Amino acid sequence: MTAPLQTPAKAIEAEALQCLRLPSGVELHHVTGGDGPPLVFVHGVMGDWATWAPQWPAFTPHFACTSYSRRYNHPNRNAMPSPDHSALVEAEDLRQLLDALGLDRVVLVASSYGAFVALALAVAQPQRVRAIVATEPAMLCYADFSAEGRAVRAAFERDVVAPANAAFRQGDDALGVTLMTGGIAGAAAAQGQALQRRLRSAHAMRMLALSSNEFPLLPPAALAALTMPVLLVSGAETPAIHRETFRNVAAAMPQAACVVVPGAGHAVARDQPRAFNEAALHFLQHHAIPAPG
């Protein structure tokens, strides 16, 4: 089922980067490639269209893939203020993107805050979503649904969010991104080339950090009512805030399949791309790829 992971960065970078302007005025850069049912990749808070490079050569033999940069992420130039920016706003961006591309119903493969966006679209317009592979949806309000989760979130807010937000308010985006990256993805992601990639999308982190409510609640009943196939993916070595959030999201979605990937942190698709690709494609083979003939 899976294709070999050969020079994945070159594979996705070989696609022509295009820019669409939505009816809302938002511009979204994206690439397309492959053949089959339509599939859209949705990256996390500080990623961009190239985040899914390790997936591109594995998925394009089976799907007509689109990978796009979310509203405030590199290389988009959207400067419009959004004091209430959240996954609900970005779900509407995604809906307009699907309309602009002429895609009626799609598979969504999404990570972190992008997985939050994907689930928000599925709740708002379930007829547009054929299936979802969601890696650790960053719906941190779900951590509050358990005593252990509340304690972990309180520590995360105190040790990571508060210092990072203070840096953003003071105009020190680099420090804000470094602090938030370390708290979200671990110390290794907060240095070197990995950090430099994230700094390109510092504006996206700033807009969420200073939003009036970056984690609006998708009610558990609404998640439980989703009827499309959903695979929830987590990393076995993910930070505590994501572990507790994921645990409570999974409890709210008893209809969803779950997989925990060994040796992966929060960024499962990049930490363990082969294992992620195999799990996701195996799931989608049964739920979203038409049988031959």
For the chain, residues with pLDDT lower than 50 are 1-6, 292-293
CATH number of the domain to which 24 belongs: 3.40.50.1820
186 part of a folded domain = no
Domain membership flag for residue 160: no
What is the model's pLDDT at position 205? 85
Q: Are 158 and 133 in contact (CB under 8 A)?
A: no
Q: How many domains does the chain have?
A: 1
Q: What pLDDT is recorded for position 293?
A: 38
> Does residue 155 sit within a domain?
no
Of 287, 291, 236, the closest CA to residue 107 belongs to 287
Contact 106, 128 (CB under 8 A): yes
Distance of CA 178 to the CA centre of its chain: 19
pLDDT for the residue numbered 11: 84
Residue 3: per-residue pLDDT = 43
- pLDDT for 186 equals 63
Task: Say how far apart CA 48 and CA 197 lie, in whole Å.
Answer: 9
- Within a domain: 47: yes
DSSP annotation of 16: P
Provide the pLDDT for residue 2.
Answer: 42
What does R_g of the chain's alpha carbons equal in angstroms? 18
- Token representation of residue 169: 């308010």
Write out the residue range of the structural domain in which residue 251 sits.
8-146+217-287
